[in-house]
Amino acid sequence: MGEETKSRLGRGLAALIGDVGGADVERAEQRPTKAAIEFLRPNPRNPRQAFKEDDLRDLAESIRERGIVQPIVVRELSGVSNVYEIIAGERRWRAAQIAGLHEVPVVVVEADERQSLELAIIENVQRADLNAIEEAQGYQQLISEFEYSQQDLAKIIGKSRSQVTNTLRLLKLPAQAKQFVVDGLISAGHARALLSVPDPEQVARKIVEEDLTVRDVERLAQTKETGAETPTRTVKEKDADTLALEKSLTDSLGLSVKIDHRNEAGQVKILYQSMEQLDSLCKRLQG
């Protein structure tokens, strides 16, 4: 893979829609065009697999008001006329269907399997749309199927090699711990800390049940390494009213809400998985 190709891909979707040239990834259309929504197909290799219904409905409402601002990047399916596979923008395509659109703006590019996967990962990483496990699985696909080195990945994605290495290590976690990350119940920071504990699945459950912080998990790992007695964290049982309020707020916001109430004071934690979720939450709180 030449340095020129790596540089272009490292710039993400701007390289596709803007000034791509050469034989690696070429534009079939210089400007966005329209495509019937039923002629688009999701990419089965898309690293992003989790699409929350609440997020899609929020985006659909935005699309009804303002339309689709950023076109969906697609490639023609081999041997099938006027049918396209989505490279980047599957979430917008799904929301457009909820919004009742019949056509969506697309940019048609020429890209092979490797380039399609690269660009899907780049877009999602740059937009922070992937959870840590999906990101790691995407990296592993490039390594396993296209013989990428970790250094290659670091250059293309614009991260350090150590960041790529640490993300890939998350795939060593047990299945239940990885699912907690996918579901947004524990953070990427929690997941990295779990790699240092003897029983990551058990500790992952403690994180969810007892609302442990990343620092709590790091302390657990340190006590195991030194052989010191494991510190116990006193967890006050939540009363029925607090649990009911947590559930009500979670259902209302579509985001996981935790309430820590002690005496007359406490804190409310709202967990989000993407900047779009945070933006939506801020709009609700401000308006």
HSE-CB of 249 using CA atoms within 13 angstroms: 17
For residue 256, give the nearest of 267, 265, 268 by alpha carbon.
268
CB 273 within 8 A of CB 55: no
Q: Could you give the angle at the alpha carbon of 207 between the alpha carbons of 204 and 211, nearest 5°?
A: 165
Pairwise CA distance, residues 208 & 194, whole Å? 13
Clarify whether 90 is annotated catalytic. Answer: yes
274 φ/ψ angles, rounded to the nearest 5 degrees: -155, 160
Pairing label, strands 72-76, 103-110 = parallel
Pairwise CA distance, residues 1 & 9, whole Å? 11
Pairwise CA distance, residues 185 & 274, whole Å? 14
* Active-site option among 90, 118, 123, 135: 90
For residue 154, give the nearest of 10, 15, 20, 48 by alpha carbon.
10
CB 52 within 8 A of CB 254: yes
> In the chain, what is the straight-line distance between the N-terminal and C-terminal CA atoms, in Å?
49
Structure letter (DSSP) for residue 39: G
Q: Which helix (H) or strand (E) holds 147?
A: none
DSSP SS3 for 193? helix
Q: What six digits make up the tokens of 202? A: 């058990």
Catalytic residues: 90
